[in-house]
Amino acid sequence: MARLLVQLKLRLLRNALRSSAAAKASFIVSTVFAVLVAIGVFVVLALFRGKATAVDLTTVIFTVFAFGWLILPIFAFGLDSTLDPATVQIYPLRTRPLAVGLLAASATGAWPAANLIGLLGATVGLARGLLGVLIAVIAVVLQVVFCIVLARFVTTGMAGLLRSRRGRDLGVFLIIPIFALYEFFAQVVPRAAAEGKITASSFTGFDSWMRWLPPGLAAHAIEDASDGRVGTAFARLALLAAVILVLGALWIRSLGRALVTADTTTQSSRVRGAVLPFARYGKRGVVAARLWIYQRREPTSLAYWAIIAVIMAAASVSAIVGKQHHPAIVLLGAVLGAGFAGAFHANAVGLLGPPFVYDALALTGRRDLRSYFSAQDIALAVIAVPLLTAVGFALAAAARRPTEGVAATAVALAGLGAALGASNIFTVLLAYPMDKRPGSPMGQAASGYGGYRLGSILGTLAITAVATIPAIVAAAATNSAPIAVRVPVLLLCAAAYGFALAWVGVRIAAVAAEGRLPELCQVAIRSKL
């Protein structure tokens, strides 16, 4: 059974090289990245040799890989059919041989090999002596097996959920912490390391509790064997093996239930009817109410708003953790937050998809088009204004300049108006169909339209940056004015300025869309979300 499933997995990998150009490029890029990760992790672990915190740092890296195996298979659930027990549900297979085969199939591929090769760097950086190297090899193998069994247990237990709409929503929400962690390691860690706030000694005692987790058991077993504590090393490895056996037993039990349980993920859900709010205000009210509901309920929209907050925090990190706490950095976060609020919605036609055709039937002139675009701006502003204000004041307080929250809010209001106006224009001039590809929870530009997406995002950000210059100048010029005068005047003027920019964008978009409705409908029909 194991040999058969491994052969099937290898056949799937070979078929990826014979399929479409996009799939072939994705496979090649993934394989190259896996090789780079294997080499990089091996070198990093090897560089720990001789350091007092070598075991602490090794424990951290082992734990990071375990969390990666816990989360990333959820994203690959739609790509790797071997993760779904439903693919073998119709075959008369016994559970235990099937589990062994699935485990072997999971260990086949570039990424499992990269995991094993990279973590073997502990044989150089942490192990000492022949016995230490031998224990290191055993510990790394057990660590990799633990990661694979953990991933299998999670994906099998959540198979029904991941196959459903809620599972796809979960994949979208998981992007938020992953994006936040990426920004943290890309912005905070390098800056703190350059300033000497993060050194190797910072991890001393870090694994006081992590040493009892399976990755910590593997790392400390290597250290114990290197120091001559052979009995303790074998005890840790035995405990790690026991954890793997218990987790494997739970996985086999979950797999057995999944093979005999009916699939209910395709059953229809209950629909509750309700009056659409603001419908009595005409087309503008109907469109605003509908988009408002989408923004509250659609996971992709919620993920966009969370990513905007993370971008603002990442852009302002130097004002928070730096030595000077310069307030201008907080204003940069406000500009980027407002810009991305418009950039993420700069393709309203493609994001809505085929339903836009029914909207177009009611858009009979420029007045209706102005109502349509302004309604979208209203719905987005209802969310964006409180979000940008709250994040701006929070960042200013974290930078020990709470009064700069007023300036950040003013810049955000001006930038939001410019961003929404630009997003309306690009919605008409650079409309492109959207597509949701297997394994990716977020919508992407359809094949051949990547330049349209990049152009609309960069264009919106550029327009926002230029449009916020007067607001930044005004905020700097009124810095010495009394707060009682500065706050209302600055905020009111910025709001009026942003409203004017948004209204100009609405009028331009309405004029441009009047003669392009058939083309926009074609774009909407080609969207597959």
pLDDT in tens, the chain (529 residues): 667 777 777 777 777 667 666 667 767 777 888 899 899 999 998 988 888 778 888 888 888 888 888 777 766 554 455 555 666 666 666 777 777 777 787 788 888 899 899 999 988 888 888 888 999 999 999 999 999 888 888 777 766 555 555 555 555 566 666 666 666 666 666 666 666 666 655 555 556 667 778 888 898 899 888 888 889 899 999 999 999 999 888 888 877 776 666 555 545 445 455 556 666 667 788 888 888 888 877 777 887 888 888 888 877 776 566 555 566 777 888 899 999 999 988 888 888 888 888 888 888 888 889 999 999 999 999 999 999 999 888 888 887 777 788 888 999 999 999 999 999 999 999 888 888 665 455 677 787 787 888 889 999 999 999 999 999 898 888 877 788 888 888 899 999 999 999 999 999 999 999 888 889 999 888 888 6
Task: Provide the pLDDT for residue 448.
Answer: 75
Task: Provide the pLDDT for residue 168.
Answer: 57
Residues 336, 315: contact at Cβ < 8 Å? yes
CB count, 10 Å around CB of 109?
19
Q: Cα 490 to chain center, whole Å?
A: 35
Q: What is the DSSP code string of 392-441? A: HHHHHHHTT-TTHHHHHHHHHHHHHHHHHHHHHHHHHHT---EE--TT--
Structure-token pair, residue 20: 């479409």
Q: Rg of the chain's alpha carbons, rounded to an integer?
A: 27
Q: What is the DSSP code string of 157-207? A: HTHHHHTSHHHHHHHHHHHHHHHHHHHIIIIIHHHHHHTTSS-GGGGTTTT
How far apart CA 153 and CA 171 sit, in angstroms, is: 17
How far apart CA 462 and CA 433 sit, in angstroms, is: 23
Task: Provide the pLDDT for residue 502.
Answer: 94
Task: Provide the pLDDT for residue 501.
Answer: 94
How far apart CA 136 and CA 139 sit, in angstroms, is: 5
281 pairs with which residues across the strands?
Answer: none
Residues 75, 252: contact at Cβ < 8 Å? no
How far apart CA 415 and CA 467 sit, in angstroms, is: 7
Going by the DSSP 8-state scheme, the letter that residue 447 receives in this structure is T
Q: Torsion-angle region of residue 510: left (phi > 0), alpha (psi -120 to 50) or beta?
A: alpha
Residue with tokens 């390391």: 193
Q: Decide: helix, strand or coil at residue 90.
A: coil
Q: Decide: helix, strand or coil at residue 528.
A: strand
How far apart CA 222 and CA 201 sit, in angstroms, is: 20
- Phi then psi for residue 444, to 5 deg, are -130, 165
Q: How far is CA 348 from CA 13, 173, 524, in A?
A: 37, 21, 9
